[in-house]
Amino acid sequence: MPSYRKLAFVASDHPGADDERRRLEQLYGTCPMEDADLIVALGGDGLMLETLHRTMGLNIPIFGMHFGSIGFLMNRFDPENLIERLSAALTTKLHPLKMEATDRSGTVHSAIAINEVSLLRQAAQAAKLEIAVDGRARMDELICDGVLVATPAGSTAYNLSAHGPIIPITASLLALTPISAFRPRRWRGALISNTARVDIRVLEADKRPVSAVADHTEFRDIERVQICEDRSIAMHLLFDADHGLDERILIEQFTP
């Protein structure tokens, strides 16, 4: 059973969250984030994603407590017995996606996505995309508002809103999901191995401009994108033992 002696606390701008952060620091002490054994994040999923990006590479586990509008990646808010909860918590390991996007000038942009990489039309014209998986063309022409590649952790976010599948957190899969596909109309996407490389080429890029977004990092006027899981980066989220992330995803699949 792990022992967390040095805690760091972060809070969202949700009303009252910063007051609770200060109260928790008085109860349990605090230290700089880079010196912590564990980070406690008070807020919603947006704060969790922000904290994961800020601490990427530090190998510090994060325990989120819901104090915002959406909290799928968060535990219930309860400031009592925090040390006991942390000691009994279950750890979920996540690997992000690496995106390399080349724009029309030939500049290559790199970014990391914990939830998803999205390609989105920039103008009134629908995007026209060619999709290859591991170097083999799988769709010669997809006319759509966009397409996304989602991790299991991100499968219940934008991917689910786009009618993509929910993926169990332990599954070695990624979701490839179209956004408002016009042609072929019946294509609903695909589940692919997390070891796969997805290459997307923008057709008629001058007429149908497309942006590429890795979580919240956007690059515009993109011609091609390469997406793969980055196994060199591991992030650790802690969840209460009675309500782990795999259980939440299972519950989501049976929720009307």
Catalytically active residues are 45
Cα 200 to the chain's mean position, in Å? 19
Residues 6+ apart with CB under 8 A from 60: 8, 33, 36, 37, 38, 39, 236
Q: Three-class SS string for 35-76?
A: HCCEEEEEECHHHHHHHHHHCCCCCCCEEEEECCCCCCCCEC
Spatial neighbors of 245 by CB under 8 A, at least 6 apart, are: 73, 92, 153, 169, 237, 239
CA distances from 27 to 2, 4, 14, 83, 141 (A): 20, 14, 21, 11, 58
Contact 143, 128 (CB under 8 A): yes
Neighbours of 5 (CB within 10 A): 10
